Amino acid sequence: MKAYSEMSKEELKAELDGLEKEYEKYLAMNLHLDMSRGKPCKEQLDISMGMMDVLNSKVDLRCEDGTDCRNYGCLDGIPEAKQLMGDMMENHPDNIIIYGNSSLNVMYDTVARAMTHGIMGNTPWCRLDKVKFLCPVPGYDRHFAITEYFGIEMIPVPMSPEGPDMDMVEKLVAEDDAIKGIWCVPKYSNPQGYSYSDATVRRFARLKPKATDFRIFWDNAYGIHHLYDDDQDYLVEILAECKRAGNPDIVYKFASTSKITFPGSGIAALATSLNNLEDIKKQLKNQTIGHDKVNQLRHVRFFKDIHGMTEHMKKHADIIRPKFEMVEQMLEEGLSGLGIGEWTKPKGGYFISFDSLEGCAKEIVGKAKKAGVVMTGAGATWPYGKDPKDSNIRIAPTLPPVNELKTATELFVLCVKLVSAQKLLEG
């Protein structure tokens, strides 16, 4: 079929009539399908069930250093967990704090601490007239929700397959001391699945911000979440690069096992410089005596080491790779050549990013919802939920069973065609 933009009004009207009849069939199906968030499916959760058996009332719950995990202590995590997460994050255990189940919680705390007490002796952000954050777009809605909650002004920065527009980032941070941070999902980014190039990471490490308390919030959520054994993205390690650049304190690096074991009961970690760690622990010691050490021990006993973790991730990939490939194939078969949409083909992570014709995303997501398929709200991938082009849609293939995902994708393709044809006819 030729591109919609090349069709005559009569051809486009005939196409639209057929699409509307097809859409009516879906309305009559009374579907209830969810493709809204990047959640692991049941089969993915099942592969971690063995973790429930590694500890019981008869096993020794002491760490290698003799610490009893049932008791108080270990503010920054048990040594074995720091070693395991350090290997996963490519950082030395001495540079790591182990937290509870959620890295998002750690990011929220990090912003909150900067707001109320400042960073390493600098003025608390709440006492400043203006605080700003850079936000690569499209990006992660929950990052944007944190900064919006604290009243921090968000400045969109365009993304490319190489990462954020570093010319823009370098210029803005060098000129404005109100810019205190930037959100980053550097590997298999949310939602596009892009991984920052070596040059981009090195430019981050060599930033010269005007604000001495500027920090890169490096959320490496998908560091080992590859879809393929033989075709994986590689990321330059940011802490080491910052140290080499003489900029050791500029980055906070976050990660968790949320999409490795159980999202509700994983372990999160922060890696950063020793100076930053000292600053963070001043607050942390007033907040807690230590996080869940039994859960930390459970993870270590289950995986044993990083090799066990990487083998475990291959099982995840085997479950979700066919889902990604099916969605990509259906988008290709249904939309290729029509000129009404573009999409990414990530090698890892949890999302596919789709760009519709300008001004169509909200209507596409709305029509899908009306027919029974819930997707992430259009605009969610931008600060304040406002996509200026109303074109970006995040597709999350992991949660639905294959048969439901197939139906949901068929309907999505239909909605893209339907809304695009209407838009072009109105134009």
- Write down the pLDDT at residue 411: 98
Query: What pLDDT is recorded for position 62?
Result: 97
Distance of CA 316 to the CA centre of its chain: 17
The H-or-E segment that residue 103 falls in is helix 103-117
The 10 Å CB-count burial string (b at 16+, else e) for 203-236 is bbbbbebebebbbbbbbbbbbbbbbeeeeebebb
> What's the average model confidence in pLDDT over 67-88?
97
pLDDT at 119 over 90: yes
Torsion of Cα atoms, 118 then 123 then 127 then 132, to 10°: -70
Average pLDDT, the chain: 97
Q: What pLDDT does residue 244 have?
A: 98
More confident call, 1 vs 159:
159
> Interior CA angle at 218 toward 148 and 76, to 5°?
100
| Structure-block tokens of residue 39 | 């959640």
Average pLDDT over residues 207-220: 98
CA 147 remoteness from chain centre: 16
* DSSP secondary structure code for residue 78 in this structure: -
Helix (H, G, I), strand (E, B) or coil at 395: strand
Which residue do the tokens 């920065």 mark?
Answer: 157
Q: What are phi and psi of 283, to 5 degrees?
A: -80, -45
CA distances from 295 to 52, 131, 299 (A): 10, 37, 6
Instruction: Identify which of 261, 375, 382, 390 has the alpha carbon closest to the alpha carbon of residue 327.
Output: 375
How many Cα neighbours within 13 Å face the side chain of 289? 5
Least confident of 24-38, 227-241, 360-374: 24-38
How big, in percent rounded to 5, are the helix, strand and coil portions of the chain? 45, 15, 40
Task: Note the pLDDT of residue 427.
Answer: 79
Which fold is adopted by the domain 61-304?
Aspartate Aminotransferase; domain 2 (3.40.640)
pLDDT at 218 over 80: yes
SS3 350: coil
140 DSSP assignment: -
Distances (CA, A) of 6 to 3, 425, 426: 5, 12, 15
Q: Is the peptide bond before 388 cis (omega within 30 degrees of 0)?
A: no
Model confidence band, residue 1 (pLDDT cutoffs 50, 70, 90): confident
Report pLDDT digits (tens) over 301-340. Answer: 999 999 999 999 999 999 999 999 999 999 999 999 999 9
Where in the chain do CATH 3.90.1150.10 domains reside?
A: 4-44+310-426
pLDDT digits (tens, 9 = 90+) for 222-266: 999 999 999 999 999 999 999 999 999 999 999 999 999 999 999
Q: What angle do CA 122, 128, 130 make, to 5 degrees?
A: 125
- Min mean pLDDT across 24-28, 33-37, 38-42, 110-114 is at 33-37
Residue 173 contacts residue 134 (beta carbons within 8 Å)? yes
**For range 150-173, the mean pLDDT:** 98
263: preceding bond cis by omega (within 30 degrees): no
Residue at token pair 């600098």: 122
Q: Report the amino acid identity of residue 168.
A: M
Nearest to 144 by CA among 386, 350, 316, 354: 386
Taking the domain 4-44+310-426, which CATH number applies?
A: 3.90.1150.10
Pick from 352, 358, 357: nearest CA to 376: 352
- Residue 223 has what pLDDT? 97
- Residue range(s) occupied by CATH 3.40.640.10 in the chain: 61-304
